Amino acid sequence: MDKNTELLNKANKLFLKKLFRDSLPMYDEILRSDPENIDVINNKGYALSKMKNYDEAISCYDRGLKKNPTEKCLLINKISALRKKEKFEDALELCNFILNYNASENIVLYHKIRILYSMKKFRESINICDKLLELYPNNGDVLFDKSCNFAALGETLSCISNLKLAISISSKFKVNAKKNNVFESLKEQKAFQELVKQ
């Protein structure tokens, strides 16, 4: 086993233990001798992102994207970092770039739902929810997101029916609904109370 492979295995073990800061020097050492190693660039960026160092994470992803502009893992992780920095326009642009190549890229569609919601583009977000639900009708997370969008639009019946479907898939959505401020206006309604009671 060569030195870089050994270092990568050690760094990845630390990464999996969530010791992100400890993994970084090892990723850097590998990149000194193998500066275009996409896996290492991606893992380093992801570690930085997990440490909430989004600017450095984005720089890291950009380093890889200079050589490999269509590398999906780098693009998707960059979308995630941009979302966390609330750079929604930039994140949306990258989503659309990937979806031009593959219109049913699930993780990108999921990011797009959340980005559009954050941008208060609730109808567009619902449309993306529907696209994903055509592929995965029992996706509780997407049904929950759809109910949040309807709640934000003040469309109570559609909100409740989607929330009911989400809760039928997993009771975790009861807890999520109680915590999420978007449902504030529904908290006095009997139908909502019935849905979220333990």
pLDDT tens digits, 109-165: 999 999 999 999 999 999 999 999 999 999 999 999 999 999 999 999 999 999 999
- 178: closest CA among 170, 187, 190? 187
**pLDDT confidence tier of residue 2, bands split at 50, 70 and 90:** confident
Q: Name, in order, each residue with C-beta under 8 angstroms of 90's C-beta and a sequence gap of 6 or more.
A: 82
- 45: closest CA among 55, 35, 34? 55
In angstroms, rounded to a whole number, what is the distance separating the alpha carbons of residues 83 and 72? 16
pLDDT tens digits, 162-171: 999 999 999 9
**pLDDT confidence tier of residue 1, bands split at 50, 70 and 90:** low
Mean of pLDDT values over 91-118: 95
Q: Name, in order, each residue with C-beta under 8 angstroms of 23's C-beta and a sequence gap of 6 or more.
A: 11, 12, 14, 15, 43, 44, 47
Contact assessment for residue 176 and residue 144, using Cβ atoms and an 8 Å cutoff: yes
Q: Which residue has the tokens 């010791």?
A: 19
Q: Could you count the other beta carbons within 10 Å of the beta carbon of residue 33?
A: 11
